[in-house]
Structure 1
Amino acid sequence: MSLSRNSILTIISILLLFTFVWYANNNLTPYAVRIWENTAIFLMLAASYNLINGVTGQFSLEPNGFVAIGAYVAAILTLTPDQKDAMFIIEPMVPWLKNIHMSFLPSLIIAGLVTAFVGFLLGFPVFRVRGDYLAIVTLGFGLTIRVISNNTITITNGALGLKGIASYTNIWWCFGWAILSMIIIMRIVYSAFGRAMKAIRDDEDAAIAMGINTFWIKMAAFVIAAFFEGVGGGLLAHLITTISPTMFTFFLTFQLLIIIVVGGLGSMTGTVMATILVIWGSEILRFVEQPMNIAGLHIPGIPGMRMVIFSILLIVIMIFAREGIMGQREFSWNWLFSIFKKSKSEA
C-alpha cells in the first residue's frame, strides 16, 4: 500500500523530531534537557485536557486530581518493598501494596488505567451538570484527592509523601509519550467521535436532537483525557523523584488552562505552540529577577518579577488574539502548500 504525500511528510517530521531529541540528549546542558522534558510532559497533559475542555467544550477543572492519582500509582508500583518499609515510618504500608514491585513501563500503563477508571466513575455524577456547575464539581474532585492523599497514610504516606523514587523518566520517555498521545488524540478529533465532540461543544441540545448520545461521548473524552493525565503524573513522579500532596494543587490545573486558552480551545496545534511558549517563556525570563546595571542605573533583583512580565505578555496575546494563537484551526500540510502556491502566484 502506497503512502500519501502527507503521510510521508508526517513520518519525516516525526523522525526529525526524534533526531532533535537525540541531539538534545547528547549535546544540551542538563538544565535545558530538563526543560524539554517538562515541555513534553506538559504537552501531553495540555493536549488531553484540551480534548475534554476545548474539543468537547466541557469546562472541567480536574487535571490536578488525575495527575496526582497517576503519580502516586506509578510511584508506589516502582518502589521496592524495602524502600516502602523504610519510608512509611508513621504507619506501615498495607501489605497488598507493599509487596508489589514493577518496572517503569507497566507502572505507567497501570497508572493511566487506574486514573481512567476513576475518571469513568467520576463521569457519572459529573456529567449530570453543565457549565459552571461542572467546573465546581471537578474542582471539588481535585481538592478531595488532595485531602485523601493527606489522610490515607498507609497508602500514600500522608503529608510526608513518597521519596527516593527511581529517576526513570528521561527525554526519550517524555517525547515518546507526548508524540503517542498527540497521534491518538488527533485521530480521535478527526474521527466520527471527534465530530460528535465538536457538535456537543457547539450546541449540546442540538446534538441531542440529532441523535448523538452526548453522555457517552463526553464520558469517552473524559476517560481518554484521564488516562493520559495519569501517565503524565507517573512521568512527573519519576522525573522529580519525590511527590507529596502539596505538589498537586489547583495551580497545576491553572497552568494547563492557560496553555489551552493561549493556544486556542480545541486546537492541538495551538496547544503545542502555547506549551513551548509558557514553559520556555517562564524560564527564559528568569534573568529579570537578577540584579542588573542598565545605563549606569542599578536595578536590584526582584523575586517573582518574571511572572509579572510573563503575565503581561499573556494578557497582550489574549487582547490581540482573543481566540488564542490558533483559535480552532489546525496545521495541515495542505494548508502549508497552499501558502507556497499563493506566494508563487503573487510573485
Structure 2
Amino acid sequence: MSVGRHHLAWGLLAVVVIALVAYAEGSLSGYERTVLGFAGIYAMLAISLSFSNGLTGLFSLGHPAFMMVGAYVGAVLTFPANRKGFMLPALPEWLASVEWSLFPATLAGGIAAALVAAIAGFPVLRLRGHYLAVATLGLIIILRVVINNADGATRGALGLNGIPRHTDLWWIFGWLAAALLVCWRLKHSSIGRSLLAIRENEMAAACMGVPRARAKLAAFSLGAFFAGVGGVLWAHLLTNLTPGSFGIALAFMLVVMVVIGGSGSLVGAALAAIALTFLSEALRPIEQAMGAYGLVQIVIAVLLIAMLLLRPQGFFGSAEPSFLRRKAAGSRAGRPLSPGEEREV
C-alpha cells in the first residue's frame, strides 16, 4: 500500500470514529453510552496488554493492579476538596486541598501505575511463564490489601463514592486513539522488532545485542501506564470505586481479549475487546431471566477454549489489518516468513 493510501485509510478510520462518537453522545441513552464507554476502555486495556504481553512473550496478569493504582490516584486528585476532610481524613494537607481536572489527574494516574510497574518489574520480570503470572496476581492481592487497610485515605473496603463523572466518550476514545498510536508506532519500529526477537528467542536476541531486561521493563511499564489511564477513566465513568472491582476475573477477561484477537495484534485485541463487551451485555438479560448467574463467564470460557483448539494464534495472530499498513502482504509474497511473523489479513 502506498504512503498516500495508508494515510487515507487512517484518516477515514478517524473520521468514522469521530462521527460515531458524536452520534453516540447526542443520541444514545445514558446506559448505552456507558456500555460503549466500557468497550472503549477495555479496547485500550487490551491494546496495552497485547503490546506488553504479546510482543515480548510475557505472561503478566497484573493489569488490574495498575488499573487500581491509576483509579485511586485519579479519584483522590479530582475528588471535591470540600468533601475530602470528612471522607478521607488521613490525606496530607497539601493533597486534601487540591481538586484537579480530569486530564492532569489521568496523566498522574498513568504515571503512578507506570512507576509501580517499574518498581515491581525489577524482581518480577526475572520470572517466566506461569511463575510470572502467579507473581503478577500476587501484585493484585498486595495492592488490594494495602488499599483496604488505608481506609483513611481510600475508604478501604467501603469504597469511594461520589467521584465526579468527568469521563465521556470523547475522553475515552481520545485516549484509546493515543494508546493505539503509541503502541502502533513502537511495534512497527526497531523497538518493536527487538521485543518480537525477545519473544521468539531470548537467547538469540541477547546475542544480537538486544537489551532484554531493559526492553521488557519498558514494555511492561508502558502497558501499565495505559492500564492506569484506563483505571482513571473507569473511576470517573462509574463514579464509585472499590478494590474488589479489580480482581482476577478482570485479569482473565483481558487475557481472553488478547488471545482471541491475536497475541501481538493491536487492532485484533481492540476488536476482540469491543466484541466481548457487547456480547457480555447482550447475555446479561438472558442470565437474569434464567437465573443462571455466571452464564457470561461460561460462554466466554467456552469461546476461549474453542479459539485455542481451532486457531491458537487468534484471529489476527501477530499481524495487523493490511489496509492500515504501508505495505500490503503481497509485497512480501514469495519470501519465507520470519519466526513469529504473520501474513497480513
Q: TM over 0.5, yes or no?
A: yes
Unaligned runs of 5+ in 1: 292-299, 341-347
Q: Closer, same or farther in 2 for the Cα pair 1:99/1:10, shift >3 Å? A: same
> Match of 1:74?
74
Listed as ranges, the matches of 1:97-136 within 5 Å are: 97-136=95-134
Listed as ranges, the matches of 1:74-223 within 5 Å are: 74-88=74-88, 92-223=90-221
Q: Which has the larger radius of gyration?
A: 1
CA distance in 2, matches of 1:76, 1:100: 9
TM-score normalized by the length of structure 2: 0.89
Whether the aligned pair in 2 keeps the contact of 1:288 and 1:306 (CA below 8 Å) is: no
> Match of 2:230?
232
Choose the corresponding residue for 1:315, options 305, 316, 322. 305
Letter in 2 for 1:125: P
Q: What is the CA-CA distance between 1:3 and the residue it aligns to?
A: 6.4
Range that drifts further, 91-100 or 331-340:
331-340
Q: What is the CA-CA distance between 1:312 and the residue it aligns to?
A: 2.8
CA distance in 2, matches of 1:311, 1:195: 32
Choose the corresponding residue for 1:263, options 231, 247, 261. 261
Count of matched residue positions in the alignment of Structure 1 and Structure 2: 329
Letter in 1 for 2:68: A
Choose the corresponding residue for 1:250, options 248, 268, 271. 248
Unaligned runs of 5+ in 2: 331-345
Letter in 2 for 1:29: S
Q: Render the CA deviation track for 1:19-54: whole Å, top value 9, x for unaligned.
A: 111111112222221111001001111111111111
Q: What is the CA-CA distance between 1:108 and the residue it aligns to?
A: 0.3
- Aligned residue for 1:4, secondary structure, equals helix
CA distance in 2, matches of 1:122, 1:232: 19
Q: What is the CA-CA distance between 1:288 and the residue it aligns to?
A: 2.5
Task: Give 4+ residue runs of structure 1 displaced > 6 Å after superposition.
Answer: 334-340
TM-score normalized by the length of structure 1: 0.89
CA distance in 1, matches of 2:135, 2:295: 34
Q: What is the CA-CA distance between 1:13 and the residue it aligns to?
A: 1.2
Whether the aligned pair in 1 keeps the contact of 2:259 and 2:313 (CA below 8 Å) is: yes
Q: Does 1:32 align with 2:22?
A: no
Q: What is the CA-CA distance between 1:337 and the residue it aligns to?
A: 10
Q: Closer, same or farther in 2 for the Cα pair 1:269/1:87, shift >3 Å? A: same
Range that drifts further, 189-198 or 10-19:
10-19
Letter in 2 for 1:274: A
Q: Render the CA deviation track for 1:257-311: whole Å, top value 9, x for unaligned.
A: 11001111111121022112210111112343355xxxxxxxx553333443343
Letter in 1 for 2:98: I
Letter in 1 for 2:179: S
